[in-house]
Chain A
Amino acid sequence: MPHSARFLKYSVVTILLCAVVLLPVLAEAARKSAHKGFVSVKQRHWDESHVRKVLQAFAYGGHTSDAQIASWARMKPASAIKQMLTFDYVNTLLSPTQDASAEHAESLEALQAFWSGDDTRNPQRWDKRRHFPALSTDANGVTSSLSSSNLQRTWAQALNTRGINPFLHKTALYLSNYQLAISVHKTRPSLIRAYYDAILSDLASGESFTTLVSNASRAAAVARAYGHQYNTFNNEKLSFSGNDDFAREYFQLFFRIQGETEDPLYHESVTIENNAKLLTGMNLDRVTNAFGSTSESDWYIAPIDFSDHTDETGRVLYNFSKHHADCLEILHTQICGSTASEKLKTLALVASNHPEAKANLPVHIINFFADDQLNEEKTAAVQAGWIAAQDDLLAFLQAYAISVTFHRSDTVKFRSAFDRNLALQNAVVLDNNESFNGRQHWETARRRMNPQGAEVFVPAHDVFGGQIGLQAANNPYIFRAAYRSNVNEPDFLGRSSRSYYTDRTETEAAVWEKDWASRIPENDSGKYIVSEVADWLWQHIVGDNGNNFDVIARSQVYSLIAYGADFGYVVSVYDPAVSADPERMYGSEELTNDPALQALIDTIANETLPLNDTEPDARLSANEHIGLAVNFISMMPYTFALEAADSSADGPTGNIKDKPARKPRERGQGRDTTRDRSSR
C-alpha cells in the first residue's frame, strides 16, 4: 500500500473513531449547556455581572444583597436562575421580607387595604396611609369615587418594598400594560385592579401562558375597555350588533397574529368578523355603591357572569341568549361553546398554536424585558426557546435569562421610564423603613415616571401598550425631564434624614436617617476610602463593572463623595492656579496628563469618608455627599440603557476590581442612631 493510501486509511479510521467517541460527548456537553431550548452561559463565564444584568433586566434590580448576588454568581446558572426569577408572591432571596407587607403580596387589592388601614403591623407612616386606599379620601376622611392615583401609587410602592417580588410584578406589568393592555380611563380602577390581580394569581399559580391570556380575554375589564360588553347577537334574525375592535385586537395584540401568513381577506372577513360574533353576551354586572363608591361609573364588577340573569341593580343581562349560539369558524377552525367564555377558552388554544403567535409572542416578550436589538440569529433562538418552553412563561424567561442569546455584547436594552426610575429607586432606597418612613407619599418612582410618559395602568399607546425603551431613548424630553429632576430635586434620590411623627396625635417624633454604611462595605482597614466607595456606588447603580466609569466621571464622583462639591468647584478652591472658575470643564486628556490635576484626583480619591464615624454630624454629612453622587451617577447616560455582559469573556471585565463581597457594618453598630435630627 503506498504511503499516501495508508495515510488516507489511517486518517479515515481516526476520524471515524473520533466521531464515534467524541460525538456523544459533544452532544452531552451541548445538552448540558442547553436549557429549555436556549444555549446557557457556561458556568465559568457566569459571574456577578451576569447576575446583575439579569436582575436589572427582569426585576428592576431586585432588592437583594451583594452577598446574595455573589452567592448566585458562584452557583450553576440553571440553579441560580431558579432562585432569582420565580413567580412566587414572595421571593425572599430576591426581595427579603422586612415587615408584614409580604403577607399581603398576593394582590394590589390586599396591599391597598393593608397600607391604608390601621393594622398595627402596617409599616406605612400613619400620615401617608390616606394616599393608598381604593377610594379617594380627602383630609377629613370623606370618600367618594375610586382613585386611580392611589392605585398607581400602591403599585409603585409595591415595586419598592422588600418582601414583594419585583420580577412577578414586572411580568404582570408587561402583560397588563403592554401585551394585554387596557387603560384605567376606560375601566375605572376597580376593574383594572381585578384584571392585574388575576394576572398575578395566574402567574403565581403556574397557569400556562395560553390559559393566562385566555383568562384575560374573558375579563370584565377588557370587555368594558373595548366596548364589546354591549355586543349582542340575535340568534333568531342572525344579526350582530356591536363593534369589531377587540375581535381584531384579540389576534393582533393578545396573540400577535397579524393574519399575514394567510389570505388577508379571510382574516378580515371570516376570522375577525366571526370573532366579533363570538364576543357577544359579555355584559358586566353592576352593584350599587360597589367598593363604597358613590360614583355610578365605579359600579361595574368583575368577573363576568355568562348566564342570563338579573344583576343587583335590577338590570337583566342576556349573556347566554344574546351570545352567538352556533359554532363559528375562526382561524380555519370551528369554535364551539354555549357562551363566549367557553368559546374563548377553545379559541385561545387554537390561537396560541398559530404559527404567527409562536413566532411573534416570544419576540415581543424579549423586546420588552431584555433586548431592543434582536437580529435574525437571536430571534430564531428566542422563537426556538419559546417552543421548547411549552407554554411555560416562567421556564422561557428563566432559560433566556441565562442564555448566550441574552448575554452577548450586541444585546442592548433601552430603558423605559418604568425601567430606569424603578431600578434607580430600588438601588437607592435601602430598606422598607426608608421607603415607608423616610419618604413622603409622593416620593415613589411614580413622581418621576409619570412626567416621563410611563404611567402604570395608563399605557402611553392605549391598547398598544406602554412606553417602550426605544421610544424613551429617542425622546429628548424624557432625558431632559430626568436631567432637570436630578438637578432640581436632589433630595428625591439623595435625602439623608427625615423627622416624622409616629402617631396621629403628633406627639411621638422619630427620625429616619440614611445609612449607606449598612450597604457599602468597609475596606480591610475598616475605612471608607472615596475611590472604593465610588466604585461600589457605580457598580450598585450602573452595574457595568466600571466599563464606562471614565476619568471625567471619576473626578466628579470622587469630588461629590469627598467634599459634596463638583470637581470644577474643588479645583477652583484647592488649586485656583489651574482655574479659579468653578464652571471650567475638564476633559479626559487633561485629567490624565496634567500633573496638578492628577495629583488632585489622587488626593480626593484617597480621602476617607466618615461614613462610620462616631460623630453623627460627620456621618450625616457623609451620607449627604453620597446622595449628591447618587444624583450624578443616576443621570449618567449608562442608566438609560442596559448592555448585557458578554458571555464569551473569561473573568471580570472593566475598571472595577472584582473583590469578594464584604459584609457591610451591621445597622447601628458602633454609633448613636437615636439622635433626633428634626431640627435639620
Chain B
Amino acid sequence: MNRRDFLKAGFASAAMVGAGLGTGLYGRPAMASVPVPRTLVNVMLLGGSDLRYAIVPHPSHDPVYIEQFWTAREPLYTENYADYAAMYASEYQTVQDTRTGFEFGIHNSCGWLAQQFTDGNVAIIANVFGSLNRRHDHSQLIVNTGDVLADRLIYSRDGWGGRLVETLGGASNVVSISSDVSIFCQGSNQANRLARVIHAQNTRDIALPNVNPEKSVTHRSNILTRALKGYYEQRGSEVAESKAASWPYHRFFQHNSAFRSFGDAVDQRLATQDLPAPLSNLDLNNNSFEQQCRNIYDCCLVPDILGLSTLSMDYGGWDTHKDQQVRINRNLQDIFGSNGGLDVLYEALAQNIPAASDSLLFNFASDFGRQLAVNGSRGTDHGRGSYSIVIGHAVNGGVFGDMFPLREALPDPADSLGRTPFQITGRDIDGLTAVGRINSALCDWLQPGSGAQVFPDAPSSAVENGLDLSQLLSV
C-alpha cells in the first residue's frame, strides 16, 4: 500500500467510524441503502478566476522566475512584505507532489485544498485553456459547451454536461443545484433541451404546491392549486402529442411535469433525513454556494430519484479587476478553505454517507485565466490560460504540466524592447492544453468511452509537450 492509498484508506475508515457514532452533531444518520453512483460535479467559477494567486512557486523555485513573478504581482498583496519569501511565509503553505517531489505554495485561504492535495486527492493541470478570447459571455459559452468554435450569439444549444448524460443514457440527468440552469446542462434535443435536466436550487424546497388538507376544500389556495394542477397535468399530456416541437410553451408544461415527477418523491425521502448541523449552519460569504453545498449532500440521499450522474454548480465574483486580494480570498475560503463549503460537505458525507465521498469528482472551470501581471487597480485583467483543478478520491493527485513555465520570466523574442511576458501588459498564461482533453477524461471515468462521444475532437486537440493525462484518474 503506497502513501496515497494508505491515506485514502485512513480517510474512509475514519468516515466509517464517524458514521457509526451517530453523534448529535450529525443528527439522524442517512439511509445507507441507496448507493451513490459515480458523479461528476462541474463547478463554474464565473468571471475568470486568477488561480495563479491561489497557486504560487515555492521561494526555492528558479530565482529568475521568482524575481519576475514578485515584481509583476507584488501589488496584489495588501500587506507590505519585504520580499517574496516573507510574503510566501505569511500567505502560503507548502505542499509537495508526492509523485515528483515538486513543491509549491497554496494560499492559506485554501487550507482544505492543500490538505486534499497532500492526501493525493487533487490534480492540478497547468497551462490549460478553454476559450481563446477574453470575453466573459463568449468564453463561458465555449467552456460550457466544450466547443471552441461555439457561436457567441447562439445560446439555444447543447452543453457538454447535457451531452454527457445523453451518452450515459438510462435515467441519467444533469442536476443543476445553483440558482441557474447553465448551458452546460442543456441537451441536444432542440425541442426540449432540458429533457435531462433537474433543477434543484433548494433540495429542501423543491415541490410544486399540492392541496393542503389542513385547509378547507374551498380555501382559495386549494381552489387555485386544484385548478392549476389539473390544467397542467391534463393539458400537458395532450400538448406533448398534439403540438409541434417548436411550440414555445412546451417547456412550461415540462417544468411542471419535472417538478411533479420528482419533487414530491424528494420531499418525502428528505423529510426523514435531517441535514447535518454543520451543513445547515454553514455560513459562507456566498449564500448561493452555501446552499449548493447542502444541495449536494441531499442529492446523495436521493440519487435514484434524480438519476444522479452529473451535477452543475457555480460560484460568481471572480472578475477581479480591482482590489483582488480581498475578494479572491473570500471566494477561495468559501470553496477551498478549512471549514469552507467543501470541507464541511465532505465531513458530513464521511459521517453519514461515506460511500458518497468516494463517488464524487469535482471539476473546476472558469471563463478564462487572468493576466500575468497585476494592473494599476491591484487586480488582474482578463487573460486566457489557467489551471484546471480536479478533486476526488478517484484522482491520481499531483501536478500535470509545467506549473510555472520559465518562459514567462525570460525576454520574449518577439518583443522589440526585450521584455519578459511578466513585464508586458496583456500577457497571460500560455494555453497549451485544451480543456476538452481533461473533460473527456472525466467523462470516461463516469463511463468508459463516453469522452469520445461528448468531446469527439479531444484526441486531436492541443496538449502540452510531454503531458500524459491517461493517469489523471484511477479506473
Contacts and interface: CB of A to CB of B under 8 A. Distances in A.
Interface of A: 226-227, 230-232, 240-245, 248, 252, 258, 264, 268-269, 273, 363, 410, 412, 414, 453, 462, 464, 470-471, 473-477, 479-480, 483-484, 486-488, 490, 548, 550, 552-553, 556, 559-560, 564-569, 582-583, 585-588, 628, 631-632, 635-638, 640-641, 643
Contact of B234 (A412, A476, A588): A588
A490 B259 contact: no
A231 B426 contact: no
Nearest to A280: B376
Nearest to A591: B234
B224 A486 contact: yes
A631 B224 contact: yes
B152 A412 contact: no
A413 to B, nearest CB: 9
A336 to B, nearest CB: 22
A464 B224 contact: no
A569 B249 contact: no
B252 interface: yes
B256 A487 contact: no
Which 5 pairs across A and B sit closest by C-beta, in order of nearness?
A241-B376, A637-B252, A566-B227, A637-B249, A585-B230
Contacts of A560: 223, 227
A566 B133 contact: no
Contact of B137 (A227, A410, A464, A586): A464
Q: SS class of chain A's interface: helix, strand, loop or mixed?
A: helix
Contacts of A585: 229-230, 233-234
B221 A569 contact: no
A48 to B, nearest CB: 22
Given A252-B135, A552-B234, A641-B249, 7 more contacts: A231-B376, A243-B322, A245-B322, A474-B186, A475-B199, A480-B259, A560-B223
* Interface range on chain B (Cβ under 8 Å from partner): 35 or more
B379 interface: yes
7 contacts: A243-B322, A487-B221, A552-B234, A588-B238, A628-B223, A632-B231, A640-B249
B14 interface: no
A338 B376 CA distance: 22
Interface in B102-148: 133-138
Of A476, A486, A490, chain B has the most CB atoms within 10 Å of the CB of A476
Interface of B: 133-138, 152-153, 155-156, 179-181, 186, 193-194, 199, 201, 208-209, 211, 217-218, 220-221, 223-231, 233-235, 237-238, 246, 248-249, 251-253, 255-256, 258-259, 319, 321-322, 375-377, 379, 381-382, 425-426
Given A243-B322, A243-B375, A556 B227 contact: yes
Given A560-B227, A566-B223, A484 B208 contact: yes
Contacts of A232: 376
A569 B425 CA distance: 71
Contacts of A586: 230, 234
B379 A268 contact: no
Contacts of B233: 585
A245 B211 CA distance: 51
A258 B231 CA distance: 46
A633 to B, nearest CB: 10
B88 to A, nearest CB: 26
B235 A227 contact: no
Contacts of B238: 587-588
Contacts of B137: 464
A412 B194 contact: no
Given A484-B209, A486-B224, A474 B138 contact: no
Of B194, B228, B376, chain A has the most CB atoms within 10 Å of the CB of B376
Given A476-B199, A585-B233, A640-B252, A564 B223 contact: yes
Contacts of B253: 637
B138 to A, nearest CB: 7
Contacts of B227: 556, 559-560, 566-568, 632
A242 B256 contact: no
A588 B155 CA distance: 35
A248 B376 contact: no
Contact of A569 (B133, B226, B377): B226
B233 to A, nearest CB: 6
A483 B208 contact: yes
Of A245, A264, A477, A564, chain B has the most CB atoms within 10 Å of the CB of A477
